[in-house]
């Protein structure tokens, strides 16, 4: 009998296929819950919802491959390592539209190593697999998280694994992955410092609530690797929005000692428990705490003591998001 040959898979070619499979499995999971609802099985509904939090229903998305081309691309808003963001307009409403172009850093570097786009054309998936995977990762995470301070996904279209060599303003002709999010404005530290105390406190409470949500999410404790000034925007409802879900990480740091020196987290089964939550708090303290909590005019000595101790705990990274939210709420 002939020996069975191992199956060889090209890693770059299967990345997009794997993401599509994961997406369809997610839809199958939701369809299972909806079939339970249709059959009026109350106990099954309760049991399933103990472990599943419904993301936005597919039908609730404003855009898909059928109408995404109707969005008018107005101007570029920003360009990063793996994606470019454009301001889009549809029936008078503004949106943030993300897709991969040949001008994003990772693709340009890859093409540069291959000398030219023409040469790279034969290796298109080599240059675009990672950025397309990152955009799809952001979409999948956005579909499973639901919090008012996380930017809201309003639609997407996934067509293939390559991007065009020539830029086009027509979204319907783009072959890769296009993601559409609600529009939000840039928020700088200087903007924050100009706000009055009540507005700054409201933002701080929103951030603490969001950090608590990320720590306790259905995906596990999530590390927001890019939780900084460039990645927190202001929504049209005057509440903050955290963006760039493709940089979220649900894996806690590995460790080999009972008390890991980084954030003094407990090492359990080779995992630094609580690392992600404490790392998020570190980023909050480093990027936002001073601007949000500096020199308020408080109406009682009790509130002054609460704030003073809160800031001391933040500087030592010795406070959880839950406790931070409780202490900030007490300042209202």
Q: What is the pLDDT of residue 62?
A: 93
To the question of pTM greater than 0.75 for the whole model, the response is yes
Alpha-carbon torsion 95, 100, 101, 103, what sign?
positive
Tens of pLDDT along the chain (332 residues) come to 444 333 333 444 444 444 444 444 444 343 333 333 334 443 443 343 333 344 555 557 999 999 999 999 999 999 989 999 999 999 999 999 999 988 889 888 887 777 665 665 566 567 888 899 999 999 999 999 999 999 999 999 998 777 765 666 778 777 789 999 999 999 999 999 999 999 999 999 999 999 999 999 999 999 999 999 999 999 999 999 999 999 999 998 888 766 656 667 778 888 888 899 999 999 999 999 999 999 888 889 999 999 999 999 999 888 999 999 999 999 99
| Domain annotation for the chain: domains and CATH numbers | 11-43+55-182 (3.30.200.20), 186-329 (1.10.510.10)
Contact 136, 152 (CB under 8 A): no
Q: What is the pLDDT of residue 117?
A: 58
N residues, the chain: 332
Longest dimension (CA), the chain: 86
Q: Reduced to 3 DSSP states, what percent helix, strand and coil does the chain have, rounded to the nearest 5?
A: 50, 15, 35
Q: What is the pLDDT of residue 29?
A: 41
| Residues whose CB is less than 8 angstroms from the CB of residue 151 and which lie 6 or more positions away in sequence, other chains included | 96, 142, 181, 182, 184, 233, 241, 242, 243, 245
What is the CA angle 205-287-215, rounded to 5? 55
Q: What is the pLDDT of residue 4?
A: 37
Element (H, E) at 319: none
Q: What is the pLDDT of residue 260?
A: 54
In the three-class reduction of DSSP (H, G, I as helix; E, B as strand; rest coil), residue 71 is classed as coil
């Amino acid at each position: 009998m002939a020996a069975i040959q191992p199956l060889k898979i090209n890693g770059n070619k299967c990345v997009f296929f794997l993401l599509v499979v994961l997406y369809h499995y997610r839809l199958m999971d939701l369809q299972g819950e909806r079939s339970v609802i249709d059959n009026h099985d109350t106990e099954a509904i309760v049991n399933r919802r103990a472990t599943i939090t419904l993301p936005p229903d597919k039908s609730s998305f404003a855009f898909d491959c059928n109408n995404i081309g109707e969005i008018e691309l107005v101007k570029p808003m920003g360009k990063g390592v793996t994606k470019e963001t454009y301001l889009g307009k549809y029936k008078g409403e503004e949106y943030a539209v993300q897709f991969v172009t040949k001008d994003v850093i990772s693709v340009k570097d890859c093409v540069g190593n291959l000398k030219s786009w023409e040469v790279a054309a034969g290796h298109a998936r080599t240059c675009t697999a990672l950025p397309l995977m990152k955009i799809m990762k952001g979409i999948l995470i956005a579909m499973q998280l639901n919090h008012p301070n996380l930017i809201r996904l309003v639609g997407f279209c996934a067509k293939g694994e390559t991007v065009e060599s020539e830029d086009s303003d027509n979204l319907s002709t783009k072959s890769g992955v296009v993601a559409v999010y609600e529009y939000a404005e840039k928020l700088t530290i200087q903007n924050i410092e100009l706000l009055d105390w009540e507005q700054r406190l409201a933002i701080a409470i929103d951030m603490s609530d969001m950090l608590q949500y990320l720590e306790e999410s259905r995906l596990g404790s999530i590390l927001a690797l890019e939780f900084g000034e460039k990645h927190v925007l202001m929504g049209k409802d005057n509440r903050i929005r955290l963006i760039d879900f493709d940089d979220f990480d649900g894996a806690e740091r590995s460790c080999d000692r009972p008390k890991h020196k980084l954030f003094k987290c407990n090492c359990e089964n080779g995992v630094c428990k609580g690392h992600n939550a404490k790392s998020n708090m570190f980023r909050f303290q480093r990027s936002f705490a001073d601007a949000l909590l500096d020199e308020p005019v408080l109406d009682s000595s009790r509130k002054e003591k609460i704030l003073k101790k809160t800031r001391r705990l933040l500087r030592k990274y010795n406070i959880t998001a839950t406790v931070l939210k409780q202490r900030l709420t007490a300042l209202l």
